[in-house]
Structure 1
Amino acid sequence: MNMLRITTWGLTAFAMAAVLSGLSCQKPSAAPATADSGFYEVMGTFAHVIAVAPDEAMAQKALDEARDELVRVDAMMSDYKPDSLLSQVNRRAAVEAVAVDEELFDLLQKSVEYSRRTDGAFDVTVGPLVDLWRQVGKENRPPTDEELEAASRCVGIDKLELNAPDRTVRFAVGGMRLDLGGIAKGHAIDRAVRRMRQVGAVGGLVDIGGDLRCFGTPSRGRAHWGIGLQHPRQERGLLLKLRLNDRAVATSGDYRRFVVIDGQPHSHIVDPMRRD
């Protein structure tokens, strides 16, 4: 994660998904089965999936399908994995048009649209600025004006060239790097939910590091999915509790991922216009 989230501009809390006790309502007479994946690592954070289905075998199948989808999307869109399709684009697109599959191309088209809707606040070309802040964080120094200017010259959605007929990606200038940290997890969650429904889940919750979506029948006879939003300054405190049905929540904060420079924390969320 490294930029302003589409759904949570200005929020400073990191959503910790949990199915909270105490929000239950009356149980139906024939309750469906619930399966819980527990927490596992994917996409550089922890995922948690709950499936509700007519029987235990179907619920477990939904968990397996969801996990396979999350791993698949990560393998395609990770900027940490050198063999991912996104990493191939980042290595080659400055010198040649790179053909990509329909799924990644469609997501890049959506990213361009979201960038235009937000007047550039959301920008998947922010990678050079993210890299700069990571580097100066390791060196415990602020970036110079010259470094910020150089990185900014490689940022801008207008520099991302998408050719729909050929389904190719090209960078207009050298030094560009795409970073899908603000959209890939949401995409992976949507794909996981679709697979869960396809194999018979009647309800479920998919959470990846605070980006989450719930759908259908809540677990264990509850009337709603209960989501706790962790307080950003209290380790065990909740900022608020949400009761949701067929909704998604995404937040990001400055207290779990950051760099420290001269004793001051700097959030992992980078504003491409302010350059910090």
Structure 2
Amino acid sequence: MKKSNLKILASIIIFFIIGLIFYFTVIDKVGTFSTTNYYLDTVNQISVINTRKSKANKVLPASDKIVLDIHNKMSSQLASSEVSKINQNAGIQPIKVSDDTYTVIKKAISYSQKTGGKFDISVGAISSIWNIGNESARVPSSEEIKSLLPLVNYKDISLNDKEKSVYLKKKGMKIDLGGIAKGYCADKLADYLKENGVKNAIINLGGNIYVFGQNAKKTDFNVGVQDPAKTNTEPLGTIQLTDKSIVTSGVYERFIEKDGKVYHHMINPTTGYPFENNLSSVTIISKKSIDGDALSTSTFGLGLEEGMKFIEGLDDVNAIFITNDKKVYTSKGIKDKFSLENSSYSLAN
């Protein structure tokens, strides 16, 4: 080969290498990229960390679609959703649903059984008339609540595993997956991101948080626990986590006030009124977010003593209970990992 041709070939190779370097350092840079949407009645943010821009441009739009798909299937606010179709056909006929919706409903019923009905998705018949979190929220009359209580019973939800169908046995029954759907969605997002090569991410679905890998500083994530009193923007405390879900249910999330009394959104399936048990919030740390979502609501309903006993009996699940008198109780597995950072609260155990 002539020297001139060799020079041309060498120039092409050098140009190609420079182009690759330019692409990976400038155009396809490594960094943190996020997407934000409003589905499942909350603001959601999904962030991928130390990830190439080209990969983020692929996985983040797909992540939005996953959340939208679950919203379209499970939102009780959408007349076209699978949940709404189940409710519209209560006492009439079973409704075939997707694997997603069937899995969530079946998991919800298992938690109803484990907690003696403290967690019950059939509370929708009553939670829908309170409608807390929406403009039409109101305090129903005691007579109205009493008339609807017979429609709240998870044992009246009939599942057919072969058909993947759901049937509500009584007319007027309604299910509401608001206490578990976001957890399922967070798990599905985490699985999708991992399967597509994302090593580090934060999934925040309106307070349902799932983290895996490491943060931008290449350490475990320092996750804040919300101050139930919301006296400032600083967290009540923090805990370092990775490959974990952290979910909080609290009286501060959604509520209405009437005649000086505050009514939060977590309805007791037995009474039809919000739970009253001296708790202001419960935070659950678990491997699966669907478990954390269901457990944060159900243990709130169980109360401090019974709820903590329930958590201590589970593997790889921990909890932080905060009472109205600003005392913080942690399960045994995180006693040395939780850092209290608000001096108006005190560790009680």
TM-score by length of 2: 0.65
How far, CA to CA, are the matches of 1:191 and 1:140 in structure 2? 34
Instruction: Find the partner of 2:56 among 59, 62, 68.
Output: 59
Corresponding residue number in structure 1 for 2:157 = 160
CA offset at residue 45 of structure 1? Answer: 0.7
Instruction: Indicate conservation of the 8 Å contact 1:35/1:63, yes or no.
Output: no
Corresponding residue number in structure 1 for 2:141 = 143
Amino acid at match of 2:209: L
2:210 is equivalent to residue 225 of structure 1: no
Instruction: Indicate conservation of the 8 Å contact 1:85/1:100, yes or no.
Output: yes
How far, CA to CA, are the matches of 1:164 and 1:141 in structure 2? 38
Corresponding residue number in structure 1 for 2:126 = 129
2:31 is equivalent to residue 34 of structure 1: yes
Query: Residue by residue, what CA displacement relative to the aligned partner does 1:32-82 show, whole Å, maximum 9, x if unpaired?
Result: 933332543121111111113552211332222222111111111111111
Moved more, 205-214 or 85-94: 85-94
Instruction: Indicate conservation of the 8 Å contact 1:35/1:60, yes or no.
Output: no
CA offset at residue 107 of structure 1? Answer: 1.6
2:191 is equivalent to residue 187 of structure 1: no
How far, CA to CA, are the matches of 2:207 and 2:174 in structure 1? 25
Corresponding residue number in structure 2 for 1:50 = 47
2:267 is equivalent to residue 270 of structure 1: yes
Corresponding residue number in structure 2 for 1:81 = 78
Query: Residue by residue, what CA displacement relative to the aligned partner does 1:93-121 show, whole Å, maximum 9, x if unpaired?
Result: 32111111222112211111111011111
Larger Rg: 2
Amino acid at match of 2:32: A
Amino acid at match of 1:213: Y
Corresponding residue number in structure 1 for 2:253 = 256
Name the SS for the 1:273 alignment partner: coil
CA offset at residue 125 of structure 1? Answer: 0.5
Corresponding residue number in structure 2 for 1:214 = 211
Amino acid at match of 1:255: Y
Instruction: Describe the shift of the 1:134–1:102 C-alpha distance in structure 2 as closer, same or farther (beyond 3 A).
Output: closer
Q: CA RMSD in A?
A: 2.0
CA offset at residue 141 of structure 1? Answer: 4.9
Amino acid at match of 2:149: S
Instruction: Indicate conservation of the 8 Å contact 1:67/1:192, yes or no.
Output: no
Query: Residue by residue, what CA displacement relative to the aligned partner does 1:216-256 show, whole Å, maximum 9, x if unpaired?
Result: 2x131331112122212213231111211111001022223
Query: Residue by residue, what CA displacement relative to the aligned partner does 1:190-236 show, whole Å, maximum 9, x if unpaired?
Result: 111111112210121111110111112x1313311121222122132
The higher-RCO structure (CA 8 Å, 6+ apart) is: 1
2:90 is equivalent to residue 93 of structure 1: yes
Instruction: Find the partner of 2:175 among 173, 178, 182.
Output: 178
Instruction: Indicate conservation of the 8 Å contact 1:132/1:151, yes or no.
Output: no
CA offset at residue 188 of structure 1? Answer: 0.7
Instruction: Indicate conservation of the 8 Å contact 1:70/1:188, yes or no.
Output: yes
Aligned residue pairs, count = 242
Name the SS for the 2:151 alignment partner: coil
Larger helix proportion, structure 1 or 2? 2
In the TM superposition, structure 1's runs of 4+ consecutive aligned residues that sit over 4 Å from their partners are: 137-142
